[in-house]
Structure 1
Amino acid sequence: MEHNIKLNQKSLGEISKIISCPTYDRSQLKTGIVHIGIGGFHRAHEALYTDQLLHDSSVTDWGICGVALLDFDTKIYNTLKEQDGLYTLMVKELDGTLTKRVIGSIVECLYAPENPLKVIEKMASSEVKIISLTITEGGYNYDEATGTFNFKNPLIQHDLENPHEPKTIFGYLTQALKLRKVRGLKGCTIQSCDNIQGNGHFAKKMLLSYVQVAEPELITWIDANVSFPNAMVDRITPSTSPLDIEILKETSGIDDAWPVVCEPFKQWVIEDDFIAGRPAWETVGVQFVEDVVPYEKMKLSLLNAGHSVLGILGALYGYSTIDEAASNGDISSFLRIYMGNEVTPTLGDLEGVNLKNYKFSLIQRFGNTYIKDQIDRICSQSSAKIPIFILPTIYTQLVNKGSIDHAAFIIAAFAIYSVGVNEFGTQLIIKDAMETVLNEKAIASRKNPEAFLEIESIFGKLKNDKMFVDAYTNAYQNIVHNGIEKSVKDINSNVLNEI
C-alpha cells in the first residue's frame, strides 16, 4: 500500500475500516491489572482475552498497565508508549491466512528502571486487583541444587540493600504489598502466567522466601490478603520478525512497530482463587477449575518439553526454525516416541483430556510452516527450562524403572549443543544466563561426558544415578562418533512403540 497509517489512538478510526479494532472507550478504563513482562506472549494471551472481554461487555475495571521490568525492555516500552499501548495481533492460521486485530486492553505502560517508585505505587493502587507475571522460568530465582531461593544473586542483594530502588520482581512486589498493608488497603491476587508446574504455589514460595529476609513482619499479612492461583497457559508465540512488520504494512497499510504473531490455538486454565475479584474471563474461553495441576503437568512435559526437544535436536541438524525440525521424519518420530513411551506413563489419569488427540495436535502445531518459530528463541535459557520441562519425567521414570533412553539422549544432545557449534561447523546462538558454565562443562565433556552433569544448579544429584548416567553416556558417545542424524535414526529403530 502506498500510504501507511501509524498505529495509535488517533488513527484507530481510520484503521477500524481495515481490520478489527477496539470498540470500547479506552479512556474510560480503570487499571485493574498490572502485568509484569509485556512481551509477545502476554500480548497474544492475557491481553487478548481481556480485550475480548472489554469488547463483549460493559465492564471498565480491567484495563491493563504493562510494566517493562528490565533494562533491555526499553524498546518494547517506547514502542507501546508511542502507540498508546495499541498493537496488532496477527494469527497465522494453518492454511497460511492471517487473522488481524488491534488489541486495546493495555491502557498504561511503565518502564521500571526509569521510575521504580511509580511502579511500586501503581502496584499498590486500590484500583489494582491483580498483578500478573510473565517473567520466564529463570525469573523466579530458584536454585535447582539447593531447592531454595537464590540469595547469592547480585540483583537480589541489591534489592535487599536498596528496597526503594528494586531491580527484581521480588523487590517490587514486597514494597508494593508493604504499602498496601501500611495504607490499610485490601490485598490482591498475584497471577503467574509462566511455564512452571504449580506456578502460583511456586511464586508464593519464592516471594515469601525473599520477604522473610527483606520484610519479615509482612509474612502474616501476605498469607491473609494475597492469593496465588495456579494456572496453565498455552499459545505458541514466536518472536516478531522484520518481515512480519512489512507483511502487515503491505496487506493492511498499518505501520505497527511491534505487532505480535501467534498460532491459532490458545488455552488458559486457572484455579478460581482471586482474593480481590477478577474479570469474567470464563465468558471469553478461559477455563476455571479447582485443580490445574493435571493440565499443567501435561502441557509442560509434552508441549514445552517437545519444544525443547525440537529446538536442541533441530539446532544440531542445522535447522533454524521449529517447523523445519518438526517436518523431519526422524526428529518427529523421536518426539512421538519420547512423548508416548517416556512422558505418558508419568502423567497418570487426566480426567476430561483426550491425551492421544492432544499429542497429535502438538505435532500439527509444531509443524505450522507459517509460524517460523526461531530455534534460538526456543533454546534460549534452556538451563532454566530443562529442570522444569524434562527432568521431572526422568525422575519419575527412574523411580518406576521405566524407559529414559530418549530423555537421556536429549540431555546428551544439550551437552553437545552447549559447545556452541554443531557438527557441520555452524555457530549456534546460545542465549542463556548460564552460558559460560554450560560452555565450560560442555567442552570438558569431550574428555569425560559426565562433566556436564556436574552442573548441580541444573541437574541436581542426577549424576549419582547409574541408570541415567549409563543411558546419557551411551547417547553422548553415539552422537559424537556417529553424528546426530544417524544417532537419532538408531535410537528410534530400537523402539517399537510410537504413540
Structure 2
Amino acid sequence: MTILNSTTLPHLPPEITVPAYDRAKVRPGIAHLSVGNFHRAHQAVYIERILGRPGQADWGIVGIGLMDSPAETDKADAMKAQDGLYSLTVCAPDAPDTVHVIGSIVEYVHGPADRAAVIARLADPAIRIVSMTITEGGYYVDENGHFPLDLPVIAEDLKRDVPHSAFGVLTEALRLRRDRGVGPFTILSCDNLPQNGHVARTAVLSWARARDAALAEWMEENVTFPCTMVDRITPAVRPDDVRRLDGASGLDDRIPVFCEDFIQWVIEDKFCAGRPEFDAVGVQFTGNVHPYEEVKLRMLNASHSLLGLSGVLSGYRIVSDIMADMYEVALVERYLGYDAEPLLLRRFRNHAISDQLLRIASDSTSKLQMFVRETAMGVLATHRNPVRIAFLIACYLEYLRGHDDNGATYPIVEPHLSAQDRALATGADIDAALGMTVFSGWGLADSEDFVTRYRTIRQSIRTHGTRRTLAEVVLTAE
C-alpha cells in the first residue's frame, strides 16, 4: 500500500483523482473550525474545485481542531503526517466508486495544544472567512433565540484569559483584528440547522457582549453571518471502514472519508471580506436560504429520522439494508406523499398570498441552474424517463418568446440572459437552444432520449398549446 503524503502524491495510480493545482502555491484564506468528516466531504471538496481555477490560490483552508480528545489528537497527527491530504471515496448507487485525493486543507492547527496559536492564526489578515461545523447542539441557542450565559461550559469559558470555545476564539481573534486595523472576517456556519447564520450570530455576539460590549458592537456592525444549507450524506468512518477504503484504494490513509455522489451548498451572498469563486463550482447563491432548508429538512432529514428510529428498533443497522424491506420503503413513500408534500402544496394553495406567476417565472435563467440542474443531470445519468425535465425546459424556452397560448404578451424579466442566448432560445432551430449558456454542463444534447422528447414537447406546445401538451406529459407512462 502507498503511504499518502506530498511526496507520493505525483506517483498515485491514474484511476485516483489528485489535486489539479500546485499545492505549494496555495495559501489559506479560509479557516475551518472542527474538521470533521462532513467538512472534508463537502466544503473542502468545493474549495478543491476552486483551487483548480486560475487566480484562486489564496483560498486554501487551514483546519482548526477545537476538541480535546484522543480521536482529535490522532486526527491532528494524521493530518501532519499526510501533509493535510486524505482520500475521499464517492459512492454512487449505480456506478463504480471513485477515489479522490483532496488537497485543499494545506495547514492544520490542533487547538488543545496551543489555544493562543488558534487565535493568532485567525487574526491573520489573509483569513477572510471562518467556517465551522461544530454540530447543531454546539451553539447552545434555544428555540427562543436565547444563548445561556449561565451554562457552566459558557460561564467557565468567559472567565478564561484564552478561551476554548468557538465563540471565544472567534471573539478574541476579531479583537486583535480590530485593534490592528485589519478588518473583520465572515463567519460561515455549515451546520445542519435552520437559519444557521442567525443562530451563529446570536451565539457569537452573545458571548462577545458578555466579554466586551464595545467589541461586540464593532462585530455587530462589521462581521457578516451568512445562512447556508448544506447537503451530502457522509457516514461515520469506523476502523473497519478505514481498512475497507484503504484496501480498495491501495492507499495507506489514516483518515479516509466516504460519501454519496450528491452534493449541494446554498449560501446567502453576504461576505464582508470577499469570497472565492463559489458560484463557478456549483455553489448556489440566494437572498433567502429558508426555502431550501425547508424542503431538505422536511423531506430528506425527516425521512432519515423516520428510517433511523424505525430501522434501529427493527434490528437494522445500515440504511441500504432497510431499502430491501418493503414496509420500511412504503413508510417513507407514504410519509413523503401524504404527510410532508401536502403541507408544501398547501402553501401554494394559499389564496391570501396569491403570488404572481410572472414573479416566480422571472430570472428563470438563474433559477433553473440552481433548482433543476442537479435533478436533470441525475435523471439523465440514471437513464430515467426525462419527460418532465423536457417539459420544463421547453416551457422555459417558449416563455422567452413573450406570449402565451392565447396570444397575450407579458414582460420578460431575465437579467442574466445574454442577447446571444436569447437569440438561441427564440430562433427557428429549436435544438440549438440546448446550447445556451444556462444549460452548460447539463448534458442535455448528449441524451438522444431527452432531445427527442424535448423536440416533440416544444413542437406540441406551439401546435396544440401548453395545457394539452401538459395532459399528455402527465399521462405518459414511466
Q: TM-score when scaled to structure 1?
A: 0.67
Q: Is the 8 A contact 1:18 1:252 kept in 2?
A: no
Q: Is the 8 A contact 1:155 1:167 kept in 2?
A: no
Q: Is the 8 A contact 2:145 2:199 kept in 1?
A: no
Structure 1 match to 2:302? 305
Structure 1 match to 2:146? 148
Structure 2 match to 1:70? 67
Structure 2 match to 1:158? 156
State the shift of 1:18 in Å.
4.8
**Aligned: 1:135 with 2:122:** no
Structure 1 match to 2:324? 327
- Work out which of the residue numbers 239, 242, 246 in structure 2 matches 1:242: 239
State the shift of 1:291 in Å.
1.4
State the shift of 1:217 in Å.
1.1
Partner of 2:52, secondary structure, is: helix
One-letter code of the match for 2:222? N
**Aligned: 1:266 with 2:263:** yes
Matches within 5 A, 1:170-189: 170-189=167-186
Structure 1 match to 2:230? 233
RMSD between aligned residues: 2.3
Q: Is the 8 A contact 1:48 1:103 kept in 2?
A: yes
- Matches of 1:250 and 1:210, distance apart in 2: 46
User: Structure 1 residue runs of 4+, over 6 Å off?
Assistant: none
Q: Which has the higher mean CA deviation after the structures are superposed, 36-45 or 89-98? A: 89-98
State the shift of 1:276 in Å.
0.6
Q: Is the 8 A contact 2:99 2:249 kept in 1?
A: no
Structure 1 match to 2:248? 251
- Matches of 2:106 and 2:195, distance apart in 1: 30
**Could you report, residue by residue, the CA deviation over 1:48-91 in whole angstroms, capped at 9, with x for unpaired residues?**
11111112334211010011111122222221121110001100
State the shift of 1:346 in Å.
4.0
One-letter code of the match for 2:147? F
- Matches of 1:111 and 1:70, distance apart in 2: 9
One-letter code of the match for 2:256? P
Structure 2 match to 1:14? 11
- Matches of 2:81 and 2:135, distance apart in 1: 26
Partner of 1:143, secondary structure, is: coil
One-letter code of the match for 1:189? T
- Work out which of the residue numbers 27, 31, 55 in structure 2 matches 1:30: 27
Matches within 5 A, 1:96-111: 97-111=96-110
Structure 1 match to 2:93? 94
**Aligned: 1:126 with 2:122:** no
Judged with a 3 Å threshold, the aligned counterparts in structure 2 of structure 1 residues 336 and 18 are, in CA distance, closer, same or farther, namely: closer
- Matches of 1:255 and 1:135, distance apart in 2: 28
Structure 2 match to 1:217? 214
Q: Is the 8 A contact 1:39 1:76 kept in 2?
A: no
State the shift of 1:124 in Å.
1.2
Partner of 1:61, secondary structure, is: helix
State the shift of 1:210 in Å.
1.6
User: RCO greater where, 1 or 2, for CA within 8 Å and sep 6 or more?
Assistant: 1
Q: Is the 8 A contact 1:65 1:110 kept in 2?
A: yes
Judged with a 3 Å threshold, the aligned counterparts in structure 2 of structure 1 residues 213 and 346 are, in CA distance, closer, same or farther, namely: farther
Q: Is the 8 A contact 1:310 1:322 kept in 2?
A: yes
- Matches of 2:145 and 2:187, distance apart in 1: 22
Identity of aligned residues (%): 43
Judged with a 3 Å threshold, the aligned counterparts in structure 2 of structure 1 residues 249 and 160 are, in CA distance, closer, same or farther, namely: closer
Q: Is the 8 A contact 1:227 1:273 kept in 2?
A: yes
Q: Which blocks of at least 5 consecutive residues in structure 1 are unaligned? A: 366-499
State the shift of 1:16 in Å.
5.5
Q: Is the 8 A contact 1:163 1:175 kept in 2?
A: no
- Matches of 1:305 and 1:153, distance apart in 2: 30
Structure 2 match to 1:45? 42
Q: Is the 8 A contact 1:87 1:103 kept in 2?
A: yes
State the shift of 1:250 in Å.
3.1
**Could you report, residue by residue, the CA deviation over 1:96-126 in whole angstroms, capped at 9, with x for unpaired residues?**
5111110000001011111101111111110
Q: Which has the higher mean CA deviation after the structures are superposed, 236-245 or 107-116? A: 236-245
Q: Is the 8 A contact 1:124 1:180 kept in 2?
A: yes
Partner of 1:90, secondary structure, is: strand
**Could you report, residue by residue, the CA deviation over 1:183-215 in whole angstroms, capped at 9, with x for unpaired residues?**
111111111111111111111112112212122
- Matches of 1:342 and 1:208, distance apart in 2: 38
Q: Which has the higher mean CA deviation after the structures are superposed, 71-80 or 123-132? A: 71-80
Q: Which has the higher mean CA deviation after the structures are superposed, 26-35 or 235-244? A: 235-244
State the shift of 1:140 in Å.
0.6
State the shift of 1:331 in Å.
2.2
- Matches of 2:124 and 2:195, distance apart in 1: 27
Structure 2 match to 1:495? none
One-letter code of the match for 2:66? L
- Matches of 1:249 and 1:45, distance apart in 2: 20
Structure 2 match to 1:378? none
Partner of 1:251, secondary structure, is: helix
State the shift of 1:264 in Å.
0.3
One-letter code of the match for 2:153? L
- Matches of 1:211 and 1:327, distance apart in 2: 51
Q: How many residues align?
A: 355
- Matches of 1:238 and 1:256, distance apart in 2: 17
- Matches of 2:343 and 2:168, distance apart in 1: 37
- Work out which of the residue numbers 188, 192, 195 in structure 2 matches 1:191: 188
- Matches of 1:161 and 1:263, distance apart in 2: 43
- Matches of 1:179 and 1:61, distance apart in 2: 22
State the shift of 1:132 in Å.
0.2
Q: Is the 8 A contact 2:205 2:220 kept in 1?
A: no
Larger-Rg structure: 2
State the shift of 1:17 in Å.
4.1
Q: Is the 8 A contact 1:163 1:171 kept in 2?
A: no
- Matches of 1:157 and 1:41, distance apart in 2: 29
Q: Which has the higher mean CA deviation after the structures are superposed, 245-254 or 218-227? A: 245-254
Q: Which blocks of at least 5 consecutive residues in structure 2 are unaligned? A: 349-354, 361-366, 383-478
**Could you report, residue by residue, the CA deviation over 1:239-275 in whole angstroms, capped at 9, with x for unpaired residues?**
1233433334333321111111000000011111111
Judged with a 3 Å threshold, the aligned counterparts in structure 2 of structure 1 residues 143 and 33 are, in CA distance, closer, same or farther, namely: same
